[in-house]
A and B are shown apart, each in its own frame.
Chain A
Amino acid sequence: MRIEAEAAERHTLSVLVDNEPGILARIAGLFTARGYNIESLTVSEITADKAVSRITIVTSASPHVLEQVVAQLDRLVPVHRVTDLTAAGPHVERELALVKVAGVGEHRIEALRLGEVYRARVVDATTGSFVFEVTGGTDKIDKFVELMGELGLVEVARTGVVAIGRGREAA
């Protein structure tokens, strides 16, 4: 017998939650407990009184499982609202990455030139290294990191995806 996997779609979910202790463990744990997958997860407070956090989750699942993911998240007591941004329509997704590159000579110049092409900002520099700050969609950052791989990439820190719906309405 072989265990077969279902075809999956990549969806971005926005989850508004009460900012209470353990909420992140509750959300992340629900995914492991029910066998759902998390590709990216970001969380931050978004109101002045720090009472509400927005969690952005990128997950891959079959449409049937996605419906369950949304319903199960919505069932958690501290969850205000769950929006499947991918299903809801046009939305903007961004990631921020800090990319450290070390090198001298041609490699250093080429890294700086590519940084400009990708609109990356240099946020730290030594005579032998740069730290670039680059934002954009996941694909753009993947590509930038890949290019830096040939030019002395040392390490990368990425935020994971944050996303918001287009237009004037809240999700």
Chain B
Amino acid sequence: MTDKSGADILVEALADLGVEMVFGYPGGAVLPIYDALFRHNAQGGRIRHILVRHEQAATHAAEGYARATGKPGVVLVTSGPGATNAITGITDALMDSIPMVVVTGQVPTALIGTDAFQEADTVGITRHCTKHNYLVKTPDRLGEVIHEAFHIATSGRPGPVVVDIPKDVQVATGGYRRPGPVRHRTYRPALKPDRAGTEALADMLAAAERPVLYTGGGVINAGPAASQLLRELQRVTGAPVTSTLMGLGCFPASHDAWLGMLGMHGTYEANMAMHGADLIVAIGARFDDRVTGRLDAFSPDSRKVHIDIDRSSVNKNVRVDLAIIADAGYAMEDLLRVWKSRQHPRPDLADWWNRIAGWRALDCLAYPTSDAEIMPQAAVRALHRLTRDRAPIVTTEVGQHQMWAAQHIGFDQPNKWLTSGGLGTMGYGLPAAIGAQLGHPNALVIDVAGEASIQMNIQELATASQYRLPVKVFILNNEYMGMVRQWQELTYEGRYAESYSDSLPDFVKLAEAYGWKGIRIERPDELEAGIQAMIDHPGPVMVDCLVSKQVNCFPMIPSGAAHTDMILHVSEVSGVMDDHARALV
């Protein structure tokens, strides 16, 4: 074992771990690593570095890459501002359980704590927005730490891991031996469900008259096979399926048993089914406040089963009757085995489906049509209609456009829908689309955006240009931070404090300035042709789609309200709320 520099050890460890893509931005405290990467690739190595234009975008691009490919996203940034700029994306990955390893440069060991140039306490700052983090103080430990970091980021409930490497540790030499499979002293996530729990769940499902399968991002994190198992579970139990924002695509939207998304902007049928159910089986979902609405009115008559790989998710918001701590895929596999070995007949749920049909008949996603202006929902539906044969990967920013995309685009496969769910990060969509496109060079990748959100990482237009990535940005431009304005209408009698998008750029010219194609769609009769032109163009395209300015996103469960108190139409908005509702997020 010959000694190598810490930087070379890092690069070799990344290569040994099969890393193909690193998203980053150079700076003083990572120069040795960039040089090692350069030399590695000059000698035939294949770690591709993607130069973003802002470190936040590196983290979102890594998230997009991870979410679209199932592989961990890797980020490389410098000390101080490089690390602090990455914080939003790291937190985003923590909230949405995205496997990510972030390597940060640090000032030399001897300067730590002296307020050196570009010094920040990266391990201190990231302690609570990572699954785990490390400050590596000797090159001899570096290889082992990198392998451990990937193990922790990708196993159990996935999440971001930060490895902070002082510059002297990058330069000093040490030994590296490729380790075998990591067996951590303390970290051993449970993967397989216990038999008793699985048997009990089978009993409950067989006895249920009004079951709902409430699925989430955990099913997607469990891999594509888990989505197939979910389909099989639905087939044998006949139960309706809903999903959280993060879970969209884990069950096909074109399936008869699909209720649509649940929660604050979910469908009437999904929320009413949750409310009326006698059994809720949560699979890889965490009873988030956006899903449950008012807790004391949440699904009052149901028994609740929670399958989750993270024990701390159980009983956090909602008390459950049975917890199964396991990977969603293993849990469903075992459940199906038990179900089939007992030769359970498919339960007769005809009455339950009749009730669901009644709720569906309300057609809660219907919206007023117009010949004069483009309804945002119509734009999203047209986008879906014209692209669905290509099974596009759709990313979003955060706001009304995100909810319309979730409501009106049907996903039939996992890993096609990339959105910032837990943290709700505006500026996520464009870099995430870049990461997804790099993972799937031939896929159609579309960022459904709003005119406000897109400006939060607009500089990444250059990244797409540099790597010739044909990503599409489809802006629903209503000249408002629409979701903020919607809440101001709901809660503050329409006093629009700072929610107007003033001084907007000319997005078409802006696109062209970055070497993109720009398309503006202004009237309903231009919609289809404009979208088609976007799809047909081989390079990156930004579409500025001018939509009706005042439309709001319904259905909606206002904050503090129960599933049964959905607002279906704008006519039901009162404009005021009591303080308890106002105080909720």
Contact = CB atoms under 8 A, between A and B. Distances in A.
Q: How large is the interface on B (under 10, 10 to 19, 20 to 34, 35 or more residues)?
A: 20 to 34
Contact of A77 (B128, B135, B187, B310): B187
Contact of A72 (B127, B135, B312, B579): B312
Contact of B579 (A1, A17, A75, A77): A1
B316 A68 contact: yes
Interface in A10-27: 17-18, 21-22, 25-26
A1 B310 contact: no
Contacts of B135: 21-22
A141 to B, nearest CB: 33
A26 B135 CA distance: 13
Interface in B123-169: 123-124, 127-128, 131-132, 135, 152
Given A1-B580, A71-B311, A71-B314, A18 B186 contact: yes
Contacts of A29: 127-128
B152 A67 contact: no
A30 to B, nearest CB: 7
Given A1-B580, A68-B312, A77 B131 contact: yes
Contacts of A112: none
B316 A74 contact: no
Interface in A57-87: 64, 67-68, 71-72, 74-80
Contacts of A117: none
A17 B132 CA distance: 14
A25 B127 contact: yes
Given A25-B124, A30-B128, A77-B131, A18 B580 contact: no
A157 interface: no
A80 B185 CA distance: 8
A30 B554 CA distance: 37
Given A1-B579, A30-B128, A75 B312 contact: yes
A33 interface: yes
B583 interface: yes
A30 B130 CA distance: 12
A78 B312 contact: no
A127 B185 CA distance: 54
A157 to B, nearest CB: 27
Contacts of A75: 310-312
B550 to A, nearest CB: 30
A85 B315 CA distance: 21
Interface in B315-332: 315-316, 319
A22 B127 contact: yes
B184 interface: yes
Contacts of B315: 64, 67-68
Contacts of A79: 186
Contacts of B132: 76-77
A161 to B, nearest CB: 24
B185 to A, nearest CB: 6
Contacts of B579: 1
A62 B543 CA distance: 52
Contacts of A80: 185-186
Contacts of B319: 64
A30 B579 CA distance: 29
Contacts of A26: 127
Contacts of B583: 1
Nearest to B314: A71
Contacts of B316: 68, 71
Nearest to A77: B132
A122 B441 CA distance: 77
B152 to A, nearest CB: 6
A45 to B, nearest CB: 15
Given A1-B579, A22-B123, A68-B316, A74 B128 contact: no
Contacts of A1: 579-580, 583
Contacts of A33: 128
Nearest to A51: B185
A76 to B, nearest CB: 8
A25 B121 CA distance: 13
A138 to B, nearest CB: 29
Interface in A31-71: 33, 64, 67-68, 71
B237 to A, nearest CB: 29
B186 to A, nearest CB: 5
B462 to A, nearest CB: 36
Interface in B217-272: none
Interface in B295-322: 310-312, 314-316, 319
B152 A77 contact: yes
Nearest to A71: B312
Nearest to A1: B579
B185 A74 contact: no
Interface string B442-474: 000000000000000000000000000000000
Contacts of B127: 22, 25-26, 29
Contacts of A72: 312
Contacts of A68: 312, 315-316
Most buried by A among B310, B312, B580: B312
A30 B311 CA distance: 16
Interface in A83-122: none
B448 to A, nearest CB: 33
A52 to B, nearest CB: 9
Interface in B52-67: none
Nearest to B578: A1
A61 B102 CA distance: 35
Nearest to B130: A77
Interface of B: 123-124, 127-128, 131-132, 135, 152, 184-187, 310-312, 314-316, 319, 579-580, 583
17 contacts: A1-B580, A1-B583, A21-B135, A22-B123, A22-B124, A22-B127, A25-B124, A26-B127, A68-B316, A71-B311, A71-B312, A71-B314, A71-B316, A72-B312, A74-B312, A76-B132, A77-B184
Of all A-B residue pairs in the complex, the 5 with the closest CB atoms, nearest first, are: A71-B312, A1-B579, A77-B132, A33-B128, A77-B187
